[in-house]
Structure formats: C-alpha cells, structure tokens
Structure 1
C-alpha cells in the first residue's frame, strides 16, 4: 500500500468513526456539563429533607433480647438493629436474614409489642413530616414492583410513592415495612438519571460501567484519535520538509 493509499484509507475510517463517535461524544459533553453545573445536594433532594431527630426518652426502653426471643429471631442472623422513631414513637427496627432473604421487624421500644407495617395514612404523614417545605399532596401510589429503569429501582418493596407539587415538585418514597423514607426523587434527579444512562451507555440498568457497548466506544475512540494523529503527521508540510532535509 502506497503512502497516498494509506492516507486515503486512514482518512475514510477516521471520517466514519468520527461521525459515529461524535454523537456519543456530544452526549457525554452534555452530561458532563449538567453534572458539573448542578448541585448534587439538590439532585439528591437534600435541601428538601428535614433532619430526622429521635424524640427524648424519659421512660425505660425494653431490652431487644425480649422480642428477639419472642419472635424466635436468632442473634447470629441479625444484620442491623437500630433505635429510631416513627411518627414520634420510639421503635426498634431489626433487619435479619431468614432463608437467604432479608426481613424486617418493627417493635415498639417502650412496650416490646410488634408494630404493623405503615398504613397509607401513616406513610403520607411521615412523608409530610420529612419534607422541609410546605407543598400540596398530589398523588399517592402503592408500588409492588419496579423495573430496571424505574427511579425507585434497587430499593425495598413494597413502597408508597407520595408526590408533592410546587415548590417541592418531588416524590417521596416510603417503605411500610422499614417504616422509613427511602429516597426523594425530583425532576432534577430524573434529568440526572437520564443523562447518567447516556453517560454510562448502560441502557439496561444504567449503572454498569463495564458493559460491552461502552468498552467498544472507548476502543473506537482511541482508534479515531490515533488515526487523526497519523493523518496530521502524514499530511503535515512541516513533517514532510523535516523528512526531506534529513534525506539530503
């Protein structure tokens, strides 16, 4: 292959790869601009979250060992045991492993009695108390499943999706079994999540940086850069003059 033929071949592939990769590079740039120009705390909804404070306790709490024995929960199966509050009521939340599955038990810390999962009214009240701004309630949805692209993916189910209007414009997800707010999702987060999917090129689950498509584009991008450098050297008059002088 002559030098001219090699340059034409290199230029052809450089042009095609540049056209294809240019679209993805443009999407990466748009995502990078959004990520760098937005406040991550606002995307996470931290500015809308009211700090959860455990109420002052004047009474003696029941020992966790009492209800562990009562519910026949082996101590070596416990993943977490924490004292929290649900609607100003002190509660023990026990997360344990049973047959390979994660289960949750809520128990009143003052009496040792079991607490049932949150009702819809309790979940709504918890969402309102957890929101740092006053906003009208617009919708309540009970979720029993969520897909790989759902904004509540990867979190405990079932859950109540409690949506508030302006100025919050946010959906608060409450787990009835955990008795807690799991996450806040706003339009800023949704835009972030969509651009993140384009950034990782994981169109199935959004969070896999090791997918084949991303790897392929990275390799093709390297080829495009190298072909561009090669074209610059082979077609540059400066390099040609230096090579000509060296031969003389």
Structure 2
C-alpha cells in the first residue's frame, strides 16, 4: 500500500481546521463590524436619556448625621460606605449605604447581595433629604416615575416586572436586585431598570444594545455568562486558529512552485571544469 505524503496530511489538517474555525471566524468578523459601526454611547442608550437635573442650591436640607443617628437607633451600624444625594420621583433623598453585621473570618465582606454587586452585610436606607424621614424601597408607581424621568419622550408603559433574581444571560445581569423593569413601547422598545432599594436608575436596554449583546456573546464565546474572556472555549479556538495559520504557511512553503524552483537550484550541483 502506498504511503501518503506529508503534504496530504498537512492539507487535510488545514482543511478540517478551516471548517471548524471558519464559522467562528465569521462570527468574530460580523461582531467586529457591528461593534465598529455603532456608537458605543448609543448602544448604552445615552441618546434615549434625558439630561440629568440638578438640585437648587437654596434647597433646605436635613443633616445626614441626623439620618445616620436615626439609623443607629434601629439597626447596628459598623461603618458607613457612602452617603449620596439622589432624586426619587422629584423628591431629593439621601441614599445611605452602611455595613451592618459580621465580616467573615478574614475580615472581608460576606457573600454578594443583589446579583453579586453588593455584600450581604451592606444595608441601604433612603431618607427624605428635606425632612430626614425614612423612605421605603420604591413601589411600582414610584419606579415608573423614576424610569419615565430618565427617558426622552416615553410613549407608553407596556410592561412592569419586579425582579428578585435573573439568569446569567439576562440583560440586567450582575446588577443590584431587587429591581423594577419598566418597558416602554417607545423609544426603541427600551426597558429601564430601577433598583428598588437604592432608589436609582441602573440601566437602559433597547434593541440596538440587545443585538450588540448577542454579538458580544459570539465574540467572547462565553455561552454561559457572556462576559468571561478567559473561558476554555475561547482559548482553545485561539490556539486552533494559530495552528490553522501556521499550517497554511507550511502548506504554501512545501507546495509553492516558486519555492520548489529555489530548492531545486540549491540542490543542483554546479558543473566543474577540467583543469
């Protein structure tokens, strides 16, 4: 039986590697084209949002210390993480985030709260910034008002959901929970996400972002969570891609007529002349 040449095996390997990687290379190319031809600010939905309003400097404000003292009267406060002035449905409010409870044995924050973005021993208290009175987590009507104040010319509320958990592919993944999801028919079929406990806008998602997110999943090859650039599948395809390119160079080198002519000239001995 005639043995097959090394050329045959190199060509076969190159062909099959090309078939395996070709579809993924097409996805990477399509994704790259979509990424480069779209304004990232529009993908984030900045063009759908109203300009941020500011509070009047003449506004009468209660002392944040008084609010913090009221929190201490009803709850354990180990330390303060942040004090922020926000707006809730037209009302100025303090958002006070503080640590309450035990740390782990290494002194670190304990497990995540709200989709993994907050530690479980971090508490949030909202308070009216003018009166100092506590404010409960946002109701549905308040969340709709907050969402409507974020969007330019909201037409109609199509759907309202209260989210306590989301999957790894959800468009609101890895953000504070619980949250209200308010979907408007216009503009651009957008959904505004508002954190119930934080009382603030968190994200806006629309059709352009959803297409971007789909191509992003194909680009990262993270079909579980979409955002992991270090996944095994991506690493494997990167290595296979390198082998495919190298095998193409080798195949050209061993099969090119030009290379064969050069090698033939090198091997052909020069004629010698008799003395």
TM-score range, shorter chain: over 0.9
Superposition pairs of residues 131-150 of structure 1, within 5 angstroms: 131-150=151-170
Range moving further from structure 2, 169-178 or 132-141:
132-141
Structure-2 change in CA distance of 1:50 and 1:96 (3 Å): same
Indicate whether 1:93 and 2:95 are aligned: yes
- 2:191–2:205: 8 Å Cα contact kept in structure 1? yes
2:172 to 152, 164, 169: 152
- 2:154–2:184: 8 Å Cα contact kept in structure 1? no
TM-score (norm 1): 0.94
1:160-212 per-residue CA deviation (whole Å, 9 max, x = no partner) reads 11111133410011112111111100011111111100100001110000000
Q: For residue 51 of structure 1, report the CA deviation from its aligned partner.
A: 2.1
Tell me which residue corresponds to 2:113.
Answer: none
Question: In structure 1, how many angstroms separate the alpha carbons of the residues matched to 2:52 and 2:131?
Answer: 22
1:123 to 133, 139, 143: 143
How many positions carry a matched residue from both structures? 247
Question: In structure 2, how many angstroms separate the alpha carbons of the residues matched to 1:181 and 1:23?
Answer: 39
Q: Secondary structure at the match of 1:214?
A: helix
Indicate whether 1:6 and 2:6 are aligned: yes
More helix by share: 1
Tell me which residue corresponds to 1:63.
Answer: 63
Q: Secondary structure at the match of 2:171?
A: coil
Question: In structure 1, how many angstroms separate the alpha carbons of the residues matched to 2:169 and 2:232?
Answer: 19
Q: For residue 107 of structure 1, report the CA deviation from its aligned partner.
A: 1.1
Question: In structure 1, how many angstroms separate the alpha carbons of the residues matched to 2:77 and 2:226?
Answer: 37
Q: Which runs of 5+ in 1 are unaligned?
A: none
Q: Larger radius of gyration, structure 1 or 2?
A: 2
Tell me which residue corresponds to 1:42.
Answer: 42
Range moving further from structure 2, 175-184 or 90-99:
90-99
Range moving further from structure 2, 173-182 or 224-233:
173-182
Range moving further from structure 2, 41-50 or 73-82:
73-82
Question: In structure 2, how many angstroms separate the alpha carbons of the residues matched to 1:155 and 1:78?
Answer: 21
Indicate whether 1:84 and 2:110 are aligned: no
- 2:78–2:100: 8 Å Cα contact kept in structure 1? no
1:8-66 per-residue CA deviation (whole Å, 9 max, x = no partner) reads 11111111110000010011111111111112111111001112223214344222122
Question: In structure 2, how many angstroms separate the alpha carbons of the residues matched to 1:59 and 1:164?
Answer: 33
- 1:54–1:90: 8 Å Cα contact kept in structure 2? no
1:143-173 per-residue CA deviation (whole Å, 9 max, x = no partner) reads 1110100001111111111111133410011
Q: Which runs of 5+ in 2 are unaligned?
A: 102-109, 111-119, 269-275
2:230 to 210, 214, 221: 210
Q: For residue 220 of structure 1, report the CA deviation from its aligned partner.
A: 0.4
When the two chains are superposed, the root-mean-square deviation of aligned CA atoms in Å is 1.9
Q: Secondary structure at the match of 1:81?
A: strand
Indicate whether 1:111 and 2:131 are aligned: yes
1:206-235 per-residue CA deviation (whole Å, 9 max, x = no partner) reads 000000000000000000000000000000
